[in-house]
Structure 1
C-alpha cells in the first residue's frame, strides 16, 4: 500500500512547490483535482488534453519527484436539476476520464450527484426518510430516471478508457452508504465503485471497518481517503446527525472533521488499513485535510505521522507458518 495526499489543500502553491513539499514528507502518491469543488490548481484538463508536449512534461515532473498519480478528482453534481450546473460537471467528468486514460491513472473520483424531484426542479432533493411515502416516490424517480441511466453511460465510458470511477460516499448525494453504492454498481457495472472516506461513514453512524468489508467483498473499493471525524454527543443529541449548522460554527455542530488520529485513535486507523488489506485493497491511502482546528501544514504533517506506522507495505507472500 502507498500513502498519498489529495493536493487541493496546497492549491496556493505552484505545481513544483507542491511536488517538492509532498515528496519531502515521504509520500508516494498524489490525487489531483481537475475542477469542480476541488478546483484545478495543479491539473488543467484542457491544456493537458490538447498539448502532448505539456502532457509529457507534466508526467515527467511528477516522476522526477518519485511520485505517482493515484486519482484525478472532479467532484461535482452532474445530476443537478439546473442544466447550467449539471452540464459543466458532466463535461468535466468526461474530460477527466479521457485525461486519466492518457496519463495511465486508474481512478477518477467524483460524487454520484443528486437530482431534483421532477424535471422542472431547481434544486437537488435528498430523501433520507421512507415516510411520508412522497419521499419513496421521489427516490424511485431519481434512481430509475436519472441515476441509473446516467451512471450506466459513465460505466461504459470508463471501461472504454480503462478507468474506474470512485464515487465518494457523501451526505447530500444520492450514493452515500455502502448499500446504495452496491445498488448502483449492480445496476450500472463494475467500473463504478467507491472512493471510501471513513469521515463520512462515522457521522452517518456507519463503522468504516464494516463498510470496508461490505464493499471489499464485492471488489468495490477503487480509492480510499484518510480523514477523521469527531462526534460531539451533546450537540448530536440536540441537532441529530443531519445537522445543518454551518461548518464554521464548530462549537455548536454535532460532528466535524479532524485530521487523522484526532477523531479516532491510531488503533482504529490500523484496523482500517488491515481490513483494506484483508479485502485485497493494495493501493493508495490518500490524505484529505479539512480540519478547522489545525493549519494545513500541522494537520497534514500529523496525518502523515499517524498513518506511516500503520501502513502495510509488504504482502505476506507464502504463508510460511501453516
Structure 2
C-alpha cells in the first residue's frame, strides 16, 4: 500500500510547489483533479492531451520526486437534467479517461451523477424513500433511462482505454451505497468500481469495514479516500442523517467531516486498512481533507501521522508459523 493525497487541498500552490511539499511530507502518490468540482490546478487536460512531450515532462516531474499518480479525478454530474451542465461534466470525464490512458494512470474518479425526475426537469432528484410510490417510479425511470445507459457506454470506453472508473459513493448522487455501486457494476461491467470513502459511509449509517467486505468480495474497490466523519448524536436526534444544515454551521449539524483520526481512533482506521488488505486492495490510500476545525496543513499532517501508524506496506510472503 502507498500513502497518497488528493491534491485539490493545495490548489493555491503551483504544481512544482505542491509536488515538493507533499513529497517532503512522506507522501508517495498524488490524485490530481482535472476539472469539475475538484478543479484542475495541477493537471490541465487540454494542454496535456494532444502533446506527448508535455505528457512525458509531466510524468518525469512527478516521478522525479519519487511520486506516482494514483488517479485523475473530475467529480461532476454528467447526468444533470440541464444539458449544458451535463455536457460539461461529460466532456471533462471523457477527456480525463483519454488522458489517464495516455499517462498510464489506472483509475479515473468521479461521481455517478443524478438525473432529474423526467425529461424536462431542471434539477436533480435524489429519491431516498420508497413511499409514496412516485419515488419508486422516479428511481426506476432514472436507472433504466439515464443511469445504466450512460454508464454502460462509459464503461465500454474505459475498457477500450484500459482505465477503471472509481465512483465515489456520495449522498446526493444515484450511486451512493455498496448496493447501488454493485447494481451499476452488474449492469455495466467490471470497469465500474468504487472510489471508497469511509467518511460517506459513516454518515449514511454504514460500517466502512463491512462496506469493504461487500465490495471487496466482488473486487469492486478501484481507489480509496481517507477522510473521517463525526456524528453528533443530539443533533442527529433533531435533524436526522439527511441533514440539510449548512456545512459551515458545525455546532448544529448532525455530522461533519474530520481529518483522519479525529472522528474515529487509530484502532478503527487499523481495522479499515487491514480489511482492505484482507479483501485484496493493495493500492493507494489517498488523503482528502475537508475538516472545518483545522487548517489544510495541520489537518494534512495529522492525517499522515495517524495513517503512518496503521498502514500495511509489506506482504506476508510465506506463513512461516504454519
User: Any idea what the Cα deviations from partners look like across 1:58-86, whole Å, max 9, x if unmatched?
Assistant: 01100110000000000000000000100
Q: Give the CA deviation at 1:129.
A: 0.2
Q: Give the CA deviation at 1:52.
A: 1.6
Distance 1:103 1:50 in 2: 12
User: Any idea what the Cα deviations from partners look like across 1:233-289, whole Å, max 9, x if unmatched?
Assistant: 010000000000010010110000000000000100000000000001000000000
Normalising by structure 2, report the TM-score: 1.00
Tell me the equivalent position of 1:114.
Answer: 114
Tell me the equivalent position of 1:262.
Answer: 262
Unaligned runs of 5+ in 1: none
Tell whether 2:18 aligns with 1:18.
yes
Where has structure 1 moved over 4 Å in runs of 4 or more? none
SS of the aligned residue for 1:200 comes to helix
User: Any idea what the Cα deviations from partners look like across 1:20-74, whole Å, max 9, x if unmatched?
Assistant: 0000011100000000000000000010002222111101100110000000000
Question: RMSD in angstroms over aligned alpha carbons?
Answer: 0.4
Distance 2:212 2:163 in 1: 21
The count of corresponding residues between Structure 1 and Structure 2 is 322
SS of the aligned residue for 1:174 comes to coil
Tell me the equivalent position of 1:142.
Answer: 142
Tell me the equivalent position of 1:232.
Answer: 232
Tell whether 2:177 aligns with 1:174.
no
SS of the aligned residue for 1:91 comes to helix
Tell me the equivalent position of 2:183.
Answer: 183
Distance 2:291 2:266 in 1: 17
Tell me the equivalent position of 2:203.
Answer: 203
Unaligned runs of 5+ in 2: none
Distance 1:59 1:195 in 2: 23
Distance 2:55 2:188 in 1: 31
Q: Give the CA deviation at 1:318.
A: 1.3
Q: Give the CA deviation at 1:144.
A: 0.3
Normalising by structure 1, report the TM-score: 1.00
Distance 1:55 1:182 in 2: 34
Tell me the equivalent position of 2:66.
Answer: 66
SS of the aligned residue for 1:143 comes to helix
Distance 1:228 1:283 in 2: 19
Distance 1:232 1:148 in 2: 36
Tell me the equivalent position of 1:42.
Answer: 42
Tell me the equivalent position of 2:221.
Answer: 221
Distance 1:64 1:16 in 2: 11
SS of the aligned residue for 2:180 comes to helix
